[in-house]
């Protein structure tokens, strides 16, 4: 039974979040080894900020392309009349 499109999008988001956190494990371990609070906060907060910025850009680009496609479709409909 194929998965619904919405489910696939959620799984894609979860995979991206998981990959973002896994990729930061070495910096997190280094921060814990240095034992400074600022380094630990940076190792935790910066990946969240970068992921949020990246996801915001991704959503903005998707919205742009959907609106552009919708605008192109409306233009074609009006030209046919």
CA dist., res. 7 & res. 63, Å (int): 19
- Lowest-confidence region among 43-47, 54-58, 77-81: 77-81
Percent of the chain scoring above 90 in pLDDT: 11
**C-alpha dihedral sign at 28, 22, 50, 17:** negative
Task: Determine if residue 16 is left, alpha or beta; phi over 0 gives left, psi from -120 to 50 gives alpha, anything else beta.
Answer: alpha
DSSP one-letter string for 65-81:
HHHHHHHHHHHHHHHH-
Q: Which two tokens stand for residue 33?
A: 């080894």
Task: Determine if residue 35 is left, alpha or beta; phi over 0 gives left, psi from -120 to 50 gives alpha, anything else beta.
Answer: left
Q: Tell me the pLDDT tens digit for each residue of 42-52.
A: 887 887 888 88
Domain ranges of the chain: 5-80
């Amino acid at each position: 039974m194929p998965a619904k499109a919405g489910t696939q999008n959620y799984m894609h988001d979860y995979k991206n979040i998981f990959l973002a956190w896994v990729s930061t494990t070495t910096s997190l371990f280094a921060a814990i080894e240095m034992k400074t609070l600022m380094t630990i906060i940076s190792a935790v907060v910066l990946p969240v900020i970068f992921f949020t910025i990246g996801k915001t850009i991704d959503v903005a680009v998707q919205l742009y392309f959907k609106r552009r496609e919708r605008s192109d479709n409306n233009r074609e409909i009006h030209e046919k009349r």
